[in-house]
A and B are shown apart, each in its own frame.
Chain A
Amino acid sequence: MTAALNPKFSFDSYVVGAANRLAVTAGRTVAENPGSAYNPLFIYSGSGLGKTHLLMAIGHAAKKVAPGLSVEYLTLDEYVEAFHAAIAAGQGDTFRRRFQSVDMLLVDDVQFLTNRKEMQSELLRLTEGLQAAGHQVVLASDRPPAEIADLDERLISRFSGGLVVDMGIPDYETRVAILRKKAEERATSFQSGVLETVANVEFANVRELMGALNRLIAFQAVNDAPITEAAARQVLGLAPPADNSAEPTATPAPAPDEFSNFLSDVTATVGRAVEAWRARVSEAILRWEGEGFRTKRLEALLAQETPGAVDQVISGFVKDVERLKVLAAEVQMLDPQAAGDSVFRDPERLDEAEKVAVRVREGAAPPPAPSAAFPFDTFAEGPSNEKELAVIREVTTTPGKKYNPLVLVGASGLGKTHLLNAIGLELAGKARAVVACLSTQAFIDEVIAAIEGDRVDWWRARYRRVTALLLDDVHLLAGKDRTQEELFNLFNVLQDKDRQLVFTCPAAPNTLEGLEERIQSRLAGGLVVTLVEPDRVVRRAVLERTLGKVEASLLDYLADRPATSIRAMMAEVQRVKDVADAQSQPLTAGLARVVLEGEVAPRRRTSGFRTSGIVVSSAGGVRSREKMVWDWPVPADRMIEDLR
């Protein structure tokens, strides 16, 4: 599938000159330290200037240093072709895995990524994966990353993140060296001056230079006689040299006078001095272009004749770039898709970038926060839960570090939701905390809404930036495959970043039906804290807090009664309160006993007010509607009736 490295293309056969020295040095460094020096290394130059040769030379050198290294060289077209073939054969994953395991990937002709969005994402994923694994990526193109049309900004940034080097047209000396080396390789020798004549021609690239050499070699072979300098010119269609050596000039040109010499020296010095600002601007352009930012503002400076306020412009530009970086990082967290927008790479469009960021921010409502109604200090503590609460306090002190995830297990009404929100509130109090605390049902609803609104990426980003995720009743995920998948991925992301995860469920995680095993095992892999029936201390504390100032005997009575849960106990308390309200009696232990032990069944009147059984006749006297008397629940009424 991939092209083999051409054995002819090694560093030994690569002629180094001023125009390519940096690229070759970088290439050698990368070959000797793959994955650690410049990663990725991005080489660009015009066509025919030795990119492919250099890529392969890097591959050869790397293999020489570490023979076991797996090196892949391929052109972008080959990569695209192979990818399409793999997808057609249903082998997409195998294809990806194959490339992810390469130690050094050399990709040629990267400029053909233009208008290939799908391949761009694929290559982005691949380079990210390779870099993360410490594998080397070397890319070659005929133009710098920022100039590849329609290239995803993230890819530009990724390509520019290592080292971007260019190679220029070789100078005269390099051209002579190349010609000599190639002639030697071809076992051909030329009369002196012939190769220099060829080198004098400023060919656009080395390929054309080689073409000229080939013509000379062929000419010499056919004529069976050494080619002369003049013949070489004729073969190459060059004009004869200027007639400057035929006859010596009668009078030598007058030597320039001392003042002229001085003037030209000073001109050169002033030029260097005055033009120093141009060097500063060019340096800045190279730097920021290398990082994938547009540099139009700086390029405009170079068009000026005088520098004006160069340093102010550069520092203003740098300030804008820094702001763009901040915005892009923020947007990346909230909406990764939006972060690929080109406005985040163009300081001239900072205003637009600010607006995009505002839009993203507005769209990125923070995830549901814990309820303030459940502070930790209102959760009653007693012998039945003190150990569990101690552990939970450790979680709130060092979130994500010790017990992650934390799973609160217990029957209904034991205070799991209270505890979950209480933990959430504690975590939310920490600096820069973003705590998501919600019911699993709400979580499921959000996933559905995100899918419907085609905003899953946005939704994921919203949750991936949380510092803690707390889900109540996680067992409700049963049968919700997509939400389980999302939670699984979110779980892994957050746990990798040491973000605290807390869940509640009614039974041990591995017994929850309908939950995928991978989720069950992850929940069970954390700390499972089981909440049990509240003891008397807990019950009394809850009663005290709920009932306020009531007689101690009532609290003791109620606390002494066994209760399977706080909710069950509170149901009893409510019954007593209802009776007390109905009878306008104070809450007392006696009343509670009467209500709860069955002496008086609580009765509610249907109407909001009590009616008397006494009827005053219009004819005078009082007549009792005796039939109803004994139905009257209030003893006082009954006594009045009895006395009559």
Chain B
Amino acid sequence: MSLVNFTTREITCKIVYYGPGRSGKTSNLHYIYGRVPEARRGRMVSLATQTDRTLFFDFLPIDLGSISGFTTRFQLYTVPGQVYYNATRRLVLQGADGVVFVADSQGRQLDENLESLQNLHANLLDQGVDVRAMPLVLQYNKQDLPKELILTPAEMDDALNFRAVPGFSADALHGTGVFESLKGISELVLKKLAQGAPA
């Protein structure tokens, strides 16, 4: 997708929240939805089961208004985390400008985190996207859980952050680290713009 359109003076960023099932991707979007003034947000499209599991994807458009003469929009997507929805994940991932990988900090979820991260790399590779060039941040969610259940952000970094990308400690349900992660990915995406390469 075209990140910056100088003719129509528009900036559009597509940011995808990726991660294993139940890691808190939709929680991120819900929290953001709750903080964005009504006038600024579009309708949040969420296709979920009755047990609140994302079946298809969440979509939250945010209009940041005119920035430096450019109409700036962020489109936030989540992917279904379950392994068997890979086709949907690939579809959502298409044309992404940046990815927030939401990892579940519970120690027992480490394998799922790794598997999902590998799945992200594989899907990007399939789409011919250089993984190293894709703006990516890691969010270590559920850091509010009892210490004995979770890995610390440093341990999560050791386990998942092979590329030394920005990592954020988070509690998406209560909002800790949600906007920090969004800001982190926005900066990376926009930095690519400053370098003159459309993301």
Contact = CB atoms under 8 A, between A and B. Distances in A.
- Is the pairing of A and B real? yes
B9 interface: yes
Contacts of A267: 64, 67-68
Contact of A266 (B32, B35, B67, B191): B67
A609 interface: no
Nearest to A309: B6
B6 A269 contact: no
A351 interface: no
A266 B183 contact: yes
Interface residues of B, number: 28
Given A265-B183, A273-B193, A273-B194, A258 B68 contact: no
Given A262-B182, A272-B194, A273-B194, 5 more contacts: A259-B36, A266-B72, A267-B68, A270-B68, A306-B69
B146 interface: no
A274 B35 contact: no
B189 to A, nearest CB: 9
A513 interface: no
A261 interface: yes
17 contacts: A257-B35, A258-B179, A259-B35, A259-B36, A262-B179, A266-B64, A266-B183, A269-B191, A270-B11, A270-B70, A271-B68, A272-B190, A273-B193, A274-B67, A274-B68, A275-B68, A276-B194
Nearest to B175: A258
Contact of A258 (B6, B35, B190, B196): B35
Contact of A274 (B11, B36, B40, B65): B11
Interface of A: 257-259, 261-263, 265-267, 269-276, 305-308
Contacts of A274: 4, 11, 67-70, 193
A137 to B, nearest CB: 39
Contacts of A276: 193-194, 196
A259 B37 contact: yes
Contacts of B194: 272-273, 276
A262 B177 CA distance: 12
B69 A305 contact: yes
A462 B101 CA distance: 73
Secondary structure type dominating chain A contacts: helix
B116 to A, nearest CB: 26
Contacts of A270: 11, 67-68, 70, 72, 190, 193
Given A275-B68, A276-B194, A269 B9 contact: no
A261 B72 contact: no
B186 interface: yes
B179 A261 contact: yes
Nearest to B69: A305
A262 B183 contact: yes
B186 A266 contact: yes
B155 interface: no
Interface in B104-126: none
B65 to A, nearest CB: 8
B179 to A, nearest CB: 5
Interface string B156-199: 00000000000000000001001100110011001101101000
A244 B4 CA distance: 43
Contacts of A259: 32, 35-37, 40, 179
Interface string B61-97: 0001101111010000000000000000000000000
A304 to B, nearest CB: 10
Contacts of B64: 263, 266-267
B121 to A, nearest CB: 26
B69 A269 contact: no
Contacts of B36: 259
Contacts of B187: 265, 269
Nearest to B9: A306
Contacts of A272: 190, 194
B169 to A, nearest CB: 16
Contacts of B179: 258-259, 261-262
The 7 nearest A-B residue pairs measured at CB: A273-B194, A273-B193, A270-B67, A274-B68, A273-B190, A269-B190, A259-B35
B177 to A, nearest CB: 11
A306 B6 contact: yes
Contacts of B191: 269, 273
Contacts of B193: 270, 273-274, 276
Contacts of A261: 179
Nearest to B195: A276
A270 B193 CA distance: 9
Contacts of A263: 64-65
Contacts of B72: 266, 270
